[in-house]
Amino acid sequence: MDHPLTIDTEENGVYLKQLVPEDIVPYFDVIDSNREYLSRFSGKVVDRYPTLSSLEESFNETTDSTPDQVVRFGIWNKDMIVGSMELRPKQNEAEIGYWLGHNHTGNGYATVALRSLCDYAKQRFSVLNATVDEKNERSARVLERVGFQERSRVLGYLIFKMEGIQPVDSKA
């Protein structure tokens, strides 16, 4: 990848940058130092990346940019990764997922990053989806602040949607 996709936010110094191999170690460090915290609501990230080599394998599998491929971003505050966001395309819809390291919650990073990612994604997709653990009230509030609406509750999860989007580019 020549130039990773970068999306600025309204907050000075906070931006999303598509993760590249050079980001593997700092990205893993945030996961590794937040395993207990991240496992509170979903163990997906910590289970998926128990070791640095498992994360490296994942990066090697996703280096080609194809229209239906997951785009993984670091949420950066200046030169430090504070969390992550993913955009997972599915035809004319996309699923958004995100997390922050424990020491970085409560600073508005998730809200500004999600708002900017949604602005980017709205150019390509007509529906955006997000799923959160029903006990994760803070994450649900972030989604609502950005314009998602709760649509259902399934097996302990809240399903959110942002619909009625008129994409500029119908090709993802």
pLDDT tens for residues 2-55? 689 999 999 999 999 999 999 999 999 999 999 998 888 777 888 889 999 988
C-beta separation of 151 from 163 below 8 A: no
Q: Buried (b) or exposed (e) across 93-124, using 16+ Cβ within 10 A?
A: bbbbbbbbbeebbeeebbbbbbbbbbebbbeb
Whether pLDDT at 59 is above 90: no
pLDDT at 41: 77
Strand partners, 160: 130, 150
pTM: 0.88
Element holding 135 (H helix, E strand): none
The amino acid at residue 44 is: K
Q: What is the structure's pLDDT at 172?
A: 44
Is a pLDDT exceeding 50 seen at residue 78? yes
Domains by residue range for the chain, with CATH: 6-162 (3.40.630.30)
